[in-house]
Copies of this chain bind each other. A is one copy, B any other.
Amino acid sequence: MLYIIGLGLADERDISTKGLEIVRKADRVYLEAYTAVLLVEKEQLESYYGRSIIIADREMVESSSDEILANADAVDVAFLVVGDPFSATTHTDFVLRCRQHEPPIPTRTLPNASILTAVGATGLSLYNFGQTVSMVFFTDDWRPDSFYNRIRENADLGFHTLVLLDIKVKEPDLKAMARGKIIYEPPRFMTVAQCASQMIEVEEARAGNVCNKEKLAIGVARLGSEGEQIVAGTLEELTQADLGKPLHSLVLCGKTMHEMEWEFARGYAVDQAKFDEIWKRDYGIQK
């Protein structure tokens, strides 16, 4: 059996007690470490779980999964995933390959906390969210703005948008590669401030009044951990916000943001008077 076990969001103790029992008994334990990361190192997991853990990078999961699945029709293999297993398409694809494997590998999935619902800690109702979008690091020659249309679809319906921020782990250094060496760049995690800046930049080019400087937004960092941090303000204010260590996410508020959502979120405002003024002027609209 392949057990795909969600680890939740923060540290080694967010695993369920059911998940921990499986990890302790499994024949081999893998940790998928490229679609998301925990806030603690692998060694801390190993010490708490009492097991050594094999890191599964993108190449291993997407191209060499035979190694992970070896003998998994006969023995139990634990495949650990940060957050909730099905929050990344790559794990759905992985389960599909297990089904099509010869012999088929039975799978069982243990759900856990995901940023998609933990974002409710902002006070925004999960029922008022539209589709989730991703924001990638802009480079000099690659500044994809397809997120803009998706946010606009949500905004037209008055919905909030959760924006998931890019992480780069184990990215090859292209210059070193050109010299025939494989060196990995240090990991990078997009901040709330970087995301807010990129949104404003695209708004300036597209001018659709979707994510301009005065839109209200909420930045979150390390949700579900003891050091979680939440900052609310205009997108412009958030370009100056420092939410500390990764992981960060951002929510752009939709026009229907109702009174209780506002009352909760204003507790996190950089400038409460400004937050209140803009909310009263532009938000709280009933559909």
User: A159 to chain B: closest CB distance in Å?
Assistant: 7
Bound-complex Cα distance A86 to B263 (A): 16
Residues A14 and B13 in contact, CB atoms below 8 Å apart: no
Residues A111 and B113 in contact, CB atoms below 8 Å apart: yes
Residues A16 and B14 in contact, CB atoms below 8 Å apart: yes
> 8 Å CB contacts to B: which residues of A4-46?
6, 8-9, 11, 13-18, 20-21
Selected contact of A117 from candidates B84, B153, B260, CB within 8 Å? B84
Selected contact of A116 from candidates B17, B93, B96, B126, CB within 8 Å? B126
Residues A131 and B129 in contact, CB atoms below 8 Å apart: yes
- Chain B residue numbers with a CB within 8 Å of A116 are 116-117, 126
Q: How many copies does the complex hold?
A: 2
Residues A86 and B264 in contact, CB atoms below 8 Å apart: no
User: A198 near B: Cβ within 8 Å?
Assistant: no
In the complex, which residue of chain B has the Cβ closest to the Cβ of A6? B113
User: A109 near B: Cβ within 8 Å?
Assistant: yes
Selected contact of A15 from candidates B16, B157, B260, B267, CB within 8 Å? B16
User: A114 near B: Cβ within 8 Å?
Assistant: yes
In the complex, which residue of chain B has the Cβ closest to the Cβ of A164? B127
User: A223 near B: Cβ within 8 Å?
Assistant: yes
- Chain B residue numbers with a CB within 8 Å of A11 are 18
Residues A15 and B17 in contact, CB atoms below 8 Å apart: yes
User: A71 near B: Cβ within 8 Å?
Assistant: no
User: Can you list 6 A-B pairs with a CB-CB distance of less than 8 A?
Assistant: A11-B18, A15-B17, A16-B16, A85-B120, A111-B114, A117-B117
A residues apposed to B, CB below 8 Å: 6, 8-9, 11, 13-18, 20-21, 84-87, 89, 92-93, 95-96, 99, 108-114, 116-121, 123, 125-132, 153, 157, 159, 223-224, 226, 260, 263-264, 267
